């Protein structure tokens, strides 16, 4: 089942093979088939290596604005991300945003498919959590997030926090 959001930051002209190597290094016990979405900053919309990697694996690419990314707290700011993209980080915030975006899409589809009735329980809050923090491999950074249902508040990114 596709449950992972892969946040990717990369240097200009990083190849699909460089991205593939970084993704595989970060995945650990997970498979590429577990990835639901790839997320990055909007300035990577035309990045050939990223587009080729996504096409190669049939993965959707979700792009987020600097403003959306800047709204997400980064524990270890990146000098390179600040210098090149004017944000504190790319891969970790994008992984979290991608996970929540995918969860919201699935929630909307499932809500439409199952007309909510007064007897239906309220949906659990959805919280995105990093399961693999920033992993650096050559000219590519990768982080992985997943969404979990929870009744408790968490220090991670909640669905209602999605910009």
Q: How far apart are the first and last CA of the chain?
A: 26
The whole-number average pLDDT for the span 24-53 is 96
Q: DSSP character for 48?
A: H
CA atoms within 13 A on the CB side of 153: 3
- Specify the pLDDT at position 147: 86
What is the crossing angle of helices 16-27 and 48-57, to 10°? 60
The whole-number average pLDDT for the span 37-42 is 97
Question: What share of the chain has pLDDT > 70, as a percent?
Answer: 77
What CATH architecture does domain 4-161 belong to? 2-Layer Sandwich (3.30)
Can you say whether the dihedral through the CA atoms of 67, 35, 1, 147 is positive or negative?
negative
Domains of the chain, by residue range, sit at 4-161
> Is the pLDDT confidence value at 112 over 60?
no
Report the mean per-residue pLDDT for the chain.
Answer: 83
- Specify the pLDDT at position 123: 44
Sequence-separated (6 or more) residues with CB below 8 Å from residue 120:
114
- Specify the pLDDT at position 3: 87
What are the DSSP calls for 80-102, one per residue?
HHHHHHSSS-SHHHHHHHHHHHH
pLDDT single digits (tens) 58-95 = 999 999 999 999 999 887 788 989 998 899 999 999 99
Rounded Cα gap, residues 72 and 88, in angstroms: 9
């Amino acid at each position: 089942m596709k449950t992972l959001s892969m946040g990717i930051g990369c240097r200009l002209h990083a190849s699909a093979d460089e991205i593939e190597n970084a993704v595989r290094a970060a995945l650990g016990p997970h498979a590429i088939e577990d990835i639901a979405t790839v997320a990055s900053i909007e300035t990577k919309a035309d990045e050939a290596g990223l587009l080729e990697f996504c096409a190669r694996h049939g993965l959707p690419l979700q792009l987020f604005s600097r403003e959306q990314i800047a709204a997400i707290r980064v524990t270890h700011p990146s000098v390179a991300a600040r210098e090149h993209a004017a944000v504190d980080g790319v891969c970790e915030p994008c992984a979290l945003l991608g996970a929540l975006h995918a969860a919201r899409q699935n929630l909307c589809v499932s809500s439409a498919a199952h007309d909510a009735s007064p007897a239906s329980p309220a949906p659990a809050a959805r919280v995105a959590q990093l399961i693999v923090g920033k992993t650096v491999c050559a000219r590519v950074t990768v982080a992985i997030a997943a969404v979990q249902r929870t009744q408790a508040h968490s220090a991670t990114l909640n669905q209602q926090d999605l910009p």
